[in-house]
């Protein structure tokens, strides 16, 4: 009888030990935050797929990361304020900003942000100016752009690297984000992805679920150490 009680006690002790080890292991897991940004519709386009992607991914998880998706206004100052507030609030380890490039036919992983932006007066383009007069002429994306491109292609989704993000809001957000990270010595990876229009917007467009999958792949690859 004593041996039987001792055996039962040992089994219970072993089960409790395993249980508490598992609970402790879960508590030790570090949850990262990945910030995904899109833009509101602009330039007469009723839909901006970058907005839909950010909303679709918001609140989801990839590996041990929580995705925060936000939509930026189509305004230099307001967009800058929104993304800076988001960086301060969420302290992300990765930032991937998205934007619509209507005439592109595939996912474009941007490699270079340039220190120039277009000037518009009364909605008319009047030239370009430096974004920051003391900053470098360009900053390279800190995302593994080549590997992201290859992995997206492996999923059967058309993709390529791009070396020009334009001179409007897409490049602007790309540049100021990288510059802010550099100036404040933050350990954040950041980059920009241009997406084509939806297939319902143009013949050369892409399905939304393919775009979402491409961005999920970009996050997954960027999280690799």
**Residue pointed to by tokens 């470098």:** 136
Pairing of strands 189-195, 107-110: antiparallel
Cβ neighbours of 201 (radius 10 Å)? 17
Does residue 108 have an active-site annotation?
no
In angstroms, how far apart are the furthest CA atoms of the chain? Answer: 94
Task: Provide the whole-model pTM.
Answer: 0.85
* Residue 1 included in any domain: no
Domain that holds residue 69: 31-222
pLDDT by residue for the chain (225 residues), tens digit each? 555 555 555 455 555 544 544 444 444 364 899 999 999 998 888 899 999 999 999 999 999 999 999 999 999 999 999 999 999 999 999 999 999 999 999 999 999 999 999 988 766 778 899 999 999 999 999 999 999 999 999 999 999 999 999 999 999 999 999 999 999 999 999 999 999 999 999 999 999 999 999 999 999 999 987
- Contact predicate 102/48, CB 8 Å: no
Residue (of 131, 110, 118) closest to 43 by Cα position: 118
Residue 4 lies in a domain: no
Q: Which of 56, 170, 179, 210 is catalytic?
A: 170
Active-site residue identified among 51, 108, 151, 194: 194
Asked if residue 166 belongs to a domain, the reply is yes
**From the CA atom positions of the chain, what is the Rg in Å?**
22
Q: Give the count of beta carbons closer than 10 Å to the beta carbon of residue 10.
A: 10
CATH code for the domain of 191: 3.40.630.20
| 105 in a structural domain | yes
Considering the domain boundaries, does residue 6 fall inside one?
no
Main-chain phi, psi angles of 206, to 5 degrees: -130, 150
In a domain, 92, yes or no: yes
Q: What's the domain count of the chain? A: 1
CB of 37 closer than 8 Å to CB of 78: no
16 assigned to some structural domain: no
Annotated catalytic residue 194:
yes
Active site residue 170: yes
Residue given tokens 């041990």 in the structure block: 64
- Catalytic residue from among 110, 151, 179, 210: 110
């Amino acid at each position: 009888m004593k041996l039987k009680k001792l055996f039962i006690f040992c089994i219970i002790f072993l089960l409790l030990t395993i249980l508490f080890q598992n609970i402790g292991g879960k508590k030790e897991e570090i949850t990262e935050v990945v910030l995904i940004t899109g833009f509101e519709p602009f330039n007469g386009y009723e839909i901006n797929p970058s907005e839909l992607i950010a909303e679709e991914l918001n609140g989801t998880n990839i590996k041990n990361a929580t995705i925060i998706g936000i939509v930026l206004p189509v305004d230099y100052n307001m967009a800058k304020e929104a993304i800076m507030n988001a960086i301060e609030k969420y302290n992300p380890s990765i930032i991937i900003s998205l934007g619509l490039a209507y005439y592109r036919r595939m996912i474009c992983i941007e490699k270079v942000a340039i220190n120039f932006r277009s000037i518009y007066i009364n909605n008319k383009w009047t030239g370009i100016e430096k974004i920051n007069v003391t900053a470098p002429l360009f900053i390279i994306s800190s995302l593994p752009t080549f590997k992201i491109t290859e992995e997206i292609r492996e999923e059967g989704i058309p993709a390529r690297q791009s070396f020009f993000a334009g001179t409007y809001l897409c490049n602007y957000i790309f540049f100021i984000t990288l510059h802010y990270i550099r100036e404040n010595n933050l350990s954040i990876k950041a980059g920009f992805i241009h997406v084509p229009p939806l297939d319902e917007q143009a013949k050369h467009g892409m399905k939304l679920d393919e775009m979402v999958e491409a961005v999920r792949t970009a996050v997954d690859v960027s999280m690799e150490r």
